[in-house]
């Protein structure tokens, strides 16, 4: 926003030279004159200054021996001066300046910084609930109270701040750390599936099974309770127990079914959003069945985002289609779907025990049983009562 402000006021690049030109920096600071981009050059100091401050600098350098040379002019005043004889352009510029002056008291855009797990849309939704949105007068933002309300809305946030910088609101957040599993809490290792134990690799705890044992789902494999002559102590069991496990999956499909398919017809609709006001750029409404695709484009000026967005929505028209398949097509499709299911269940190294296709009243079913070796141990924390 500061770039837009300086563009409106007009910007001049100047070079100060003469006797001790660096003194101009202190003189400007004392007299409230802003210089930026200052740097030392071969014969003086080069910096940028607004037109208004440049007019005021004449008085503060009297008697100092410091001279000033204008190297470059840019900004709205110089554009207006160039086209001052064009009444329409001048009037339009004046209206633009008035508009910008009026809008300078509002929040044009909201920037969210510091989030990774919590999405921008979640935070924006919470901000709207507590009364903060693009277009709100900046004077209505109460940083302390609304910051606390935002933390109450989103439990995943540990800290946040609301910083108003001109027409921009920056929401800085810090997310609460995910609670890590307590590695020192006493626990047993239990079996996640039925199976036959093939390998044991235990680093802590009292193992109660051995290679070759058949275990059921929920059986204790490694106990976190160790009893000896010194008494009873509780430990956090850890390690792996590899077992041969059988998995059975069933999928089915029909010879005749109805599917939704795109026809290839695409219709587009655009909506212009100014702050929270949405203006449809089309007539009528879309009916029927379709798949939606939304594209959002934010407008900007001199690198600063404006509270103006253009939403382009594509409607891909669909219709119901009756699909008829033969037995071979169903079998091929079911095999492909079964491969996807096995990958989803993270079963990659396996042997097939049985694979059977059976005909149903209206289609085909696939029943598959596979055998694989995997770690079946999971942690089951102990609830220990210390008593009175």
Q: d(Cα 252, Cα 335) in Å, to the nearest integer?
A: 10
SS3 129: helix
Per-residue pLDDT at 375 exceeds 70: yes
Nearest Cα residue to 369 out of 194, 245, 247: 247
- Cβ atoms 173, 113 nearer than 8 A: yes
Average of per-residue pLDDT across 228-232: 80
Q: Percentage of residues in the chain with pLDDT exceeding 70? A: 89
Dihedral of CA 54/57/59/63: which sign? negative
Reported confidence tier of residue 84, pLDDT bands at 50, 70, 90? low
Per-residue pLDDT at 111 exceeds 90: no
Per-residue pLDDT tens over the stretch 191-214: 999 999 999 999 999 999 999 999
Tell me which H or E stretch contains 383.
Answer: none
Reported confidence tier of residue 367, pLDDT bands at 50, 70, 90? very high
Nearest Cα residue to 269 out of 285, 247, 245: 285
Per-residue pLDDT at 295 exceeds 90: no
Q: What is the mean pLDDT of the chain?
A: 86
Reported confidence tier of residue 338, pLDDT bands at 50, 70, 90? very high
What is the number of helices (H) and of strands (E) in the chain?
8, 22
Q: Which of 31-35, 185-189, 241-245 has the lowest mean pLDDT?
A: 31-35
Per-residue pLDDT at 93 exceeds 60: yes
Residue with structure tokens 């379709």?
Answer: 290
Q: Which of 164-173, 275-284, 376-385 has the lowest mean pLDDT?
A: 275-284
Give CA separation, 305 vs 4, 168, 311, in Å.
11, 9, 15
- Which residues are 296's β-sheet partners? 311
Reported confidence tier of residue 180, pLDDT bands at 50, 70, 90? low
Q: d(Cα 114, Cα 118) in Å, to the nearest integer?
A: 10
CA 287 to chain CA centroid, Å, is 32
Residue that wins the pLDDT comparison between 318 and 100: 318
Residue that wins the pLDDT comparison between 134 and 89: 134
Residue 274's pLDDT is: 76
Residue 21's pLDDT is: 85
Give CA separation, 235 vs 126, 191, 205, 238, 331, in Å.
43, 18, 6, 9, 51
Tell me which H or E stretch contains 223.
Answer: strand 220-223
DSSP characters over 263-326: EEEEEEEEEEEETTEEEESSSS---S-EEEEEEEEEEEETTEEEEEEEEEEEEEEEEEEEEE--
251: Cβ contacts below 8 Å, ≥ 6 apart: 334, 337, 338, 341, 365, 366
Helices 87-103 and 2-9, packing angle to 10 deg: 140
Residue 322's pLDDT is: 93
Reported confidence tier of residue 86, pLDDT bands at 50, 70, 90? low
Reported confidence tier of residue 1, pLDDT bands at 50, 70, 90? low
Per-residue pLDDT at 141 exceeds 70: yes
Taking CB atoms within 8 Å and a gap of at least 24, the contacts of 78-83 are: 78/10
Q: d(Cα 210, Cα 193) in Å, to the nearest integer?
A: 16
Per-residue pLDDT at 298 exceeds 80: no
Average of per-residue pLDDT across 273-291: 81
Residue 245's pLDDT is: 96
Residue 181's pLDDT is: 59
Average of per-residue pLDDT across 316-337: 93
Reported confidence tier of residue 385, pLDDT bands at 50, 70, 90? low
Q: d(Cα 119, Cα 121) in Å, to the nearest integer?
A: 5
The upper half-sphere exposure of residue 369, i.e. CA atoms within 13 Å in the direction of its Cβ, equals 6
Per-residue pLDDT tens over the stretch 43-76: 888 999 988 888 888 788 887 888 888 888 888 7
Nearest Cα residue to 254 out of 326, 320, 319: 326
Per-residue pLDDT at 139 exceeds 70: yes
SS3 134: coil
Give CA separation, 36 vs 33, 147, 207, in Å.
10, 33, 72
- Which residues are 249's β-sheet partners? 368
Q: Which of 207-221, 226-240, 313-327 has the lowest mean pLDDT?
A: 226-240
């Amino acid at each position: 926003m500061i770039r837009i402000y300086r563009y409106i006021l007009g910007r001049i690049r100047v070079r100060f030279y003469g006797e001790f030109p660096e003194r101009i920096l202190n003189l400007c600071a004392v007299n409230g004159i802003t210089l930026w981009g200052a740097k030392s050059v071969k014969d003086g100091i080069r910096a940028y200054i607004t037109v208004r401050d440049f007019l005021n600098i004449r008085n503060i350098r009297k008697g100092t021996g410091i001279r000033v040379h204008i190297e470059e002019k840019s900004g709205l005043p110089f554009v207006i001066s160039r086209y001052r004889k064009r009444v329409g352009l001048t009037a339009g510029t004046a209206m633009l300046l008035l508009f910008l002056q009026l809008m300078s008291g509002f929040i044009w855009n909201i920037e969210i910084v510091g989030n990774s797990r919590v999405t921008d849309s979640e935070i924006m939704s919470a901000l709207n609930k507590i009364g903060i949105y693009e277009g709100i007068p900046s004077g209505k933002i109460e940083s302390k109270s609304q910051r606390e309300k935002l933390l109450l809305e989103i439990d995943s946030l540990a800290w946040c701040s609301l910083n108003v910088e001109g027409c921009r609101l920056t929401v800085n957040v810090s997310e609460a750390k995910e609670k890590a599993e307590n590695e020192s809490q006493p626990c047993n290792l239990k079996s996640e599936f039925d199976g036959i134990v093939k390998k044991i690799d235990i680093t802590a705890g009292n193992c109660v099974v051995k290679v070759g044992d058949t275990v059921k789902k929920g059986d204790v494999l490694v106990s976190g309770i160790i009893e000896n002559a010194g008494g009873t102590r509780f430990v956090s069991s850890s390690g792996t127990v590899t077992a041969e496990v059988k998995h059975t999956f069933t999928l089915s499909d029909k010879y005749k079914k109805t599917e939704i398919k795109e026809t290839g017809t695409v219709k587009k609709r655009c909506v212009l959003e100014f702050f929270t006001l949405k203006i449809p750029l089309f007539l009528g409404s879309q009916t029927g069945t379709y798949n939606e695709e939304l594209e959002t484009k934010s407008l900007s000026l001199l690198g600063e985002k404006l509270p103006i967005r253009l939403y382009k929505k594509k409607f891909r028209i669909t219709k119901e289609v009756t699909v008829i398949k033969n037995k071979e097509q169903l079998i091929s499709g079911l095999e492909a779907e079964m491969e996807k299911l096995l990958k989803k269940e993270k079963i990659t190294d396996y042997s097939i025990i049985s694979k059977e296709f059976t005909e149903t009243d209206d289609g085909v079913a696939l029943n598959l049983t596979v055998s694989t070796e995997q770690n079946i141990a999971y942690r089951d924390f102990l609830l220990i009562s210390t008593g009175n």
